[in-house]
Amino acid sequence: SETNTAQPATREEVVVQVRSQADIDQMDEAAQSMAQQLMLEGDERTRTLANNRVYRRRLGGDLLEIAVVNRPASQLPVTPLVASGAGLIDEAELWHTAVGNLAKHYPTLNGAPLPNPTFLKTLYLDDWGAALLTLRDVWANIAKTSNGDVLAVAPSRSGILYCGSKDDPSALATLR
């Protein structure tokens, strides 16, 4: 019910999240299905699909960044209609706001190296772990304290595994 309320999103609620290409494909299929059920055609169909297309950008592999409205019981993907309701002017402002809000959500990670277990470094944070891959400045700082380049994988929405490229070969094998 939270998602379907008439209350518009606010800038402060917009954060970045990570989803697989398959998840995004399902969102696109749902929008197509909606347009079909409403029997939209031509320009009206094109305009409706464009206004309801979830903002996305490639992160790596089959992972994409999306912007979501984060509320206590739901996450609503950000479309042009949702973004305009939140007062976000363009896509550049959307991404800047979404990544900035995620960084505020996890201030202890801002510029500080993550814990450094001996074998393979892990980070699990509820539904947000994989989204932390989008905090490029944080990872640049982690890379400075790493043994080589930082290699990371997100096996689930909640977690990241990472190590330096020159770390223990068994850590690299585990990542693979």
Is the pLDDT at 123 greater than 70? The verdict is no
Say how far apart CA 17 and CA 137 lie, in whole Å: 16
Say how far apart CA 128 and CA 156 lie, in whole Å: 10
Higher pLDDT, 112 or 25: 25
Q: What is the pLDDT of residues 78-111, one digit of tens each?
A: 999 999 999 998 999 999 999 999 888 765 554 5
Say if CB 172 and CB 163 are below 8 A apart.
Answer: yes
Query: To 5 degrees, how large is the angle CA 113–CA 117–CA 121?
Result: 70
Say how far apart CA 102 and CA 138 lie, in whole Å: 12
Say how far apart CA 99 and CA 125 lie, in whole Å: 16
Is the pLDDT at 59 greater than 70? The verdict is yes
In this prediction, residues 11-40 reach a mean pLDDT of 90
Say if CB 34 and CB 61 are below 8 A apart.
Answer: no
User: pLDDT confidence of 153, banded at 50, 70, 90?
Assistant: confident
In this prediction, residues 16-21 reach a mean pLDDT of 90
